Structure 1
Amino acid sequence: MRVFSTRRRMAAALAGLGLLAASHAGAPPARAATPAPFPTAQAPEVVHLLDQNWPQSVRQGFYTTSQGSQLMPYSWFKALERPASTELFFADRLARFNYLPNDVSAQNPEGLPVGFALDRGTGPTSIGMTCAACHTGQITYKGTALRVDGGPADADFQGFLVELSAALADTVSDRAKFNRFAARVGGDKTLLRTSLSAFSTAWETFFSAALDGQAWGPARLDAFSMIFNRLTGLDFRVPSNVLPAHAPVSYPFLWNAHQQDAVQWNLSAPNGNYIKALARNTGEVLGVFGALNVCVAGKDLAGQSCPGDRRRFASKLFPHIPFYDTSISVPGLMKLEWAITQLAPPAWPSTVFGAIDAGKAEQGRQLFNEVCADCHHMTRAALNQDVWPVMDQRPTDTDPTVYRNALRWAKTGPLNGTRALLFGDGGSVSVGDMPADAQAVSVLTNGVIGSVVDGLLNQKGGTLNHDDYANLGLTPLSLIKLAIDQKTGSVNDVEQAMGPAFKAVPPAGPPAHKTSCVTSDGAAGDQTPPVYEARPLFGIWATAPYLHNGSVPTLWGVLKSSARPEAFAVGAREFDPVQVGYVSAVGTPGTPAAQTWVYDTTLPGNCNRGHDDYRRANGSPLTDDQLWAILEFLKMLTTKDQLWTSVY
């Protein structure tokens, strides 16, 4: 389906506005009238929290801590009405998009949904998103609701963006709607209309190009494309860099993520220490409305002097080095990352789903170690390391669209000719002059490093102390040294610690058998299949849907490829404890309204093939009974000891 019109007015809108998230900077300070109260929502269901080693204070911090995302001024957001309606956009607290409710508290005074936060930066208070919006799951079973912290959300992010765009456009074009909006916001109506109109035009223009393709549906997001589009297209004002985001993936689960030596489905983000975590998380913020401006030779993209005396001086002193001004909160990101390091995988709730069959699970444990443990790096040698290796994966014959799209190129815009990090084949890194065209990940990496440096030096959203810097292995002086080393052409310790931002893992050869996956270029099959992450599977029972693109609704379907439906419904939360995943049959009587989006595995990027050739050491394929045994073991798998100790 076509969720937006084509990329009309892109060049004019971007040239006139620049930063989308910062385009409200000209709005007057909020002098808001008291808004009309939101309608009383229906009584929330009772949610049972699984034991994942988080006290409530840490959980609420994860739900509400700003990471510097600035979607729009909060006074605007809570005053908007839905398209073609007088109902407030925020009336149901975004429940229609499957975002989870969060009670009013000292940490959440506005009652924002899980993963939405107020960012009180240098301008008006903004509403933004934090990682919890995409990485907090919830499942239900026969009336019991279970929260899965760090699990994949089933939110419809694209649906949220599309309706918000329509709400903005309607408010600008409908005089009565705008007057109601202005009465709620307060302030000068003429200035407000000008600011809102500019913001709405930039929003619609950007997303009309970025979302010009088939819908993602709930529980998925094309994160790579949106981050590349945002930085290389919108922030750097190069409209041709904005491409349709048509390779959505499932949200990865977060527990144990800090222990991996690489993250992202295509293994593109080096990981394993705080500075690398800051780099990957900074890229994430840039994709969800983090504001960014770049300065070269003392001027920003609008031709104005760089903001900030320190930044302006450094940019003039080193005219060939890009410096950045961002809204990213490094203290907030560090707090969120610390919370993730404490998060434990959820244990199977036997009192809700029923007890695990110990005898069958023991058989499954032995088979898992024989057949599955090596590929998923769950051997003693791998898991006894401080940082778990996940970089040497083999092709599994799955859909290649995400892998290919991550290798896209982009025009470098303001970075053209500046001294910057450059990435070569095999993940090599050097410092040199940025060419006019480069891999998008090279452009992103320079924006990420510049944003990390800016965030650490300027500390928006909180204050770092000596211990915080010690955890990063950095000092403020070492960050300034980054600029000097780039000027002289060397790669300093900070950059080496971060590692190359993209590691191309060479394929291990053609697959054993061909598939009928439809790839992004329309070809069937692929002689050079992609390599995707096959991470350790602790707590995997709570992370449906499965495979990197969410194309299999149950864990049984992962193990038994013939059990994978060609089409299935997404959006409801009812759990299937037998096949381990979501009840997802299309047209099931009594399914809730949210379960109306149908995942079609025949569409490009949605292929559900691969990960289906399970053989024992002697070469014999696993029987169905043996696959069920492995599934029984996976229900209980949360710790390393369970891999090597009998379940009896």
Structure 2
Amino acid sequence: MRLLSRVLALLIVLAVIALAVIVYYVANPKLPFYTPPQQVRYLDQWSEEQRQTYYFTPQGTQVKGLRYEWFQALELPFSEQRFASPEYLARFGFLVDPQQKASANNPGNLPVGFARHQNPGNASEHYLDITCAACHTGELRFKGQAVRIDGGNAQHVLPSSVPTLRGGSFGQALVASLASTYYNPWKFERFARQVLGDDYEARREQLRSEFKTSLNTFVKVAWNDTHRGLYPTEEGPGRTDAFGRIANATFGDAISPANYRVADAPVDYPQLWDMWTFDWVQWNGSAQQPMARNIGEALGVGATLNFFDANGQPLQGTARYPSSVRVRDLHAIEETLQQLKPPTWPEDLFGAIDKPLAARGRALFAENCAGCHVPRQSQEGERWVQHLHMIPVEVIGTDPNAANNIASHRFDLSALQWDVNELKKMDVKLHPEPKEPLDLSQLSVAKGLAYVTAFVENRAYRDAQITPEEKPRMDGFGLPIGVREKVAYKARPLAGVWATAPFLHNGSVPSIYQLLSPQDERATTFYKGTLEYDPRHLGYRTEPFTNGFLFDTRISGNHNSGHEFRAGARGNGVIGRLLQPEERWALLEYLKVLGGPLEAQLP
């Protein structure tokens, strides 16, 4: 009996030790080290005023009720270092300038895209607002210098709160800091005094209650995502399954658990210059109206949305659907992006352009690339529109998960009790026009989000007192909320493409040189998470580094197939003839100047 007791005691001790080790690694993520650049260089893409507007204008996200002041005061789980210190947040890949200081737009001196907002009628509560700039601003490092790419693709590790021993995700680390602050009495004492100041005695218990509500929301999402296995393909730096996460938040969290779908199609954050001229946006060309697209993005990042009243009954009529979306600010961001220029190759840092080689590349581009990447243009109202080519998945041959999921996943929205006849009168245009009445129990993500954003947009316009005269401009060129569901990916124009590594919609090819090569010459695995640039191959460096993310192209959602130039019959991923190495180098040289002022200097 004594032996059995000792064995049980030993097992309990080992279990406690194992749990402590797990908790330590979950709460102490393995992050790359951060070395600040000697200087951050800004290219001539827009003015400093426009840049600050884009970086720090809130869009209405509330990050699960997390207050801005709380975020500033959080500590790391195992030290008193501030979670929100620029040096720590930079380890996740968020962008900071070593020379930046707190300002009226950025009072917490936080990275690009970390804004602050308050809801109308509540001046005392400021929420952390993650904006589109956090994901759509890039940076390239070379020889200790950093080149900021405004409107480029970020390389941070933002979305996942699913706990792993490796860690590395901002979401997971944030939940760990929130939990340690609440459950460690010494941490909470320091936190409360920092947040409340002179109001500490009067408001401490209220703060603790409100903080726990926010923490519970984070933990609930982390548990839900984990035990349901919703995100089996790890997103890693610079990627998220945007449609999958928006659908799970909007249709699963807010309507019914039966609507959760596995999201195994992470995609890169696309660059934003010239986007406002495209006839259709999103990787699969499924969205048309700028405001609806931006509302959908805000909902996915954390804007509040209520479908039901306090009694669980679906909201009806003009009561639909209150949200925290800030449509005037979204419009200000959109108009700022219309002034954004593609980045220009910095010859003094990355090397001078070989103009004769680039001229040869121009001819090769016309022969091999222009058919897909130079769209037809037409003038529609006040803007020139680029009609992008949509390449079917069976032709382009790239990983099909993103296009397939968007086209095939179905969701039951019947609990919202929409009237199909009312939907017909809304500013939503389905392409093609359906021949049968909509089945609200089997709506696609694109159609479902189109109607949700239409309701949210109508309510937000009323709340913001948008007049009928203002509406067409706020929508974006008077466009309807257009919806398409093609199993295809768009081929966008390539101005500034040299600054947008990695490549393909899922970021599975690290450099343009590899993209112009047959698949068997591409890296099967490579390391991501560094901002160190390779100006020869036009991509990020891929060798191992401390706590780097190993990208494996053999995993579903990560395939690096397709878009191949190689010998053999066209189709099934082969889009052109084999390019010899010297031809690839010539094309790379031309892509450095395509669409920029240096192109005009070619012989």
TM-score by structure 2 length?
0.80
Cα pair distance change 1:467/1:576, threshold 3 Å: farther
1:48: which partner in 2? 41
Q: Deviations over 1:589-617 (max 9, x none)?
A: xx4x4x61111111111111110136899
Give the distance between the partners of 1:430 and 1:66, measured in 2 at CA: 41
Give the distance between the partners of 1:263 and 1:636, measured in 2 at CA: 24
Give the distance between the partners of 1:472 and 1:637, measured in 2 at CA: 32
2:194: which partner in 1? 184
Match status 1:647 vs 2:602: yes
2:72: which partner in 1? 78
Give the distance between the partners of 2:57 and 2:524, measured in 1 at CA: 40
Q: CA deviation at 1:424?
A: 11
Match status 1:228 vs 2:244: no
Which amino acid is 2:345 matched to?
W
Higher deviation after alignment, 415-424 or 242-251? 415-424
Q: Deviations over 1:254-304 (max 9, x none)?
A: 00111111111111112xxxxx10010110000111111135xxxx25448
State the aligned residue count: 529
Q: In structure 2, the residue corresponding to 1:262 is in which secondary structure?
A: coil
Which amino acid is 2:206 matched to?
L
Give the distance between the partners of 2:567 and 2:70, measured in 1 at CA: 57
Alignment of 1:486-635 (within 5 A): 497-501=479-483, 503-505=484-486, 530-561=487-518, 562-586=520-544, 591=545, 593=546, 596-613=548-565, 621-635=578-592
Taking every aligned residue pair, what percent have the same amino acid on both sides? 35
Q: CA deviation at 1:98?
A: 1.2
Give the distance between the partners of 2:598 and 2:534, measured in 1 at CA: 27
Match status 1:369 vs 2:370: no
Cα pair distance change 1:610/1:226, threshold 3 Å: same
Q: Deviations over 1:130-178 (max 9, x none)?
A: 1110011111111111110000011111311111122223333333333
2:176 to 149, 166, 170: 166
Give the distance between the partners of 1:45 and 1:635, measured in 2 at CA: 24
Cα pair distance change 1:143/1:239, threshold 3 Å: same
Give the distance between the partners of 1:111 and 1:371, measured in 2 at CA: 46
8 Å contact kept, 2:516–2:584: yes
Give the distance between the partners of 1:373 and 1:614, measured in 2 at CA: 17
Which amino acid is 1:192 matched to?
L
Match status 1:333 vs 2:335: no
Q: In structure 2, the residue corresponding to 1:393 is in which secondary structure?
A: strand
Cα pair distance change 1:88/1:374, threshold 3 Å: same
Match status 1:152 vs 2:153: yes
Cα pair distance change 1:415/1:109, threshold 3 Å: same
2:138: which partner in 1? 137
Q: CA deviation at 1:90?
A: 1.1
Q: Deviations over 1:16-37 (max 9, x none)?
A: xxxxxxxxxxxxxxxxxxxxxx
Which amino acid is 2:592 matched to?
K
Cα pair distance change 1:634/1:137, threshold 3 Å: same
Q: In structure 2, the residue corresponding to 1:553 is in which secondary structure?
A: coil
8 Å contact kept, 1:371–1:615: no
Match status 1:281 vs 2:294: yes
Which amino acid is 1:66 matched to?
P
Cα pair distance change 1:543/1:110, threshold 3 Å: same
Unaligned stretches of 5+ residues in structure 2: 1-33, 160-168, 197-201
Which amino acid is 1:471 matched to?
R
Q: In structure 1, the residue corresponding to 2:140 is in which secondary structure?
A: strand
1:197 to 212, 215, 227: 212
Q: In structure 2, the residue corresponding to 1:128 is in which secondary structure?
A: strand
Unaligned stretches of 5+ residues in structure 1: 1-40, 271-275, 307-314, 475-492, 506-529
Alignment of 1:315-464 (within 5 A): 315=316, 318=317, 323-378=320-375, 386-394=384-392, 395-407=395-407, 408-412=409-413, 414-419=415-420, 421=423, 427-428=432-433, 435-459=440-464
8 Å contact kept, 1:421–1:432: no
2:18: which partner in 1? none
Cα pair distance change 1:640/1:277, threshold 3 Å: farther
Q: In structure 2, the residue corresponding to 1:598 is in which secondary structure?
A: strand
Q: CA deviation at 1:202?
A: 2.2
Q: In structure 1, the residue corresponding to 2:283 is in which secondary structure?
A: coil
Cα pair distance change 1:466/1:286, threshold 3 Å: same
Cα pair distance change 1:51/1:646, threshold 3 Å: closer
2:281: which partner in 1? 263
8 Å contact kept, 1:62–1:336: yes
Give the distance between the partners of 1:292 and 1:431, measured in 2 at CA: 29
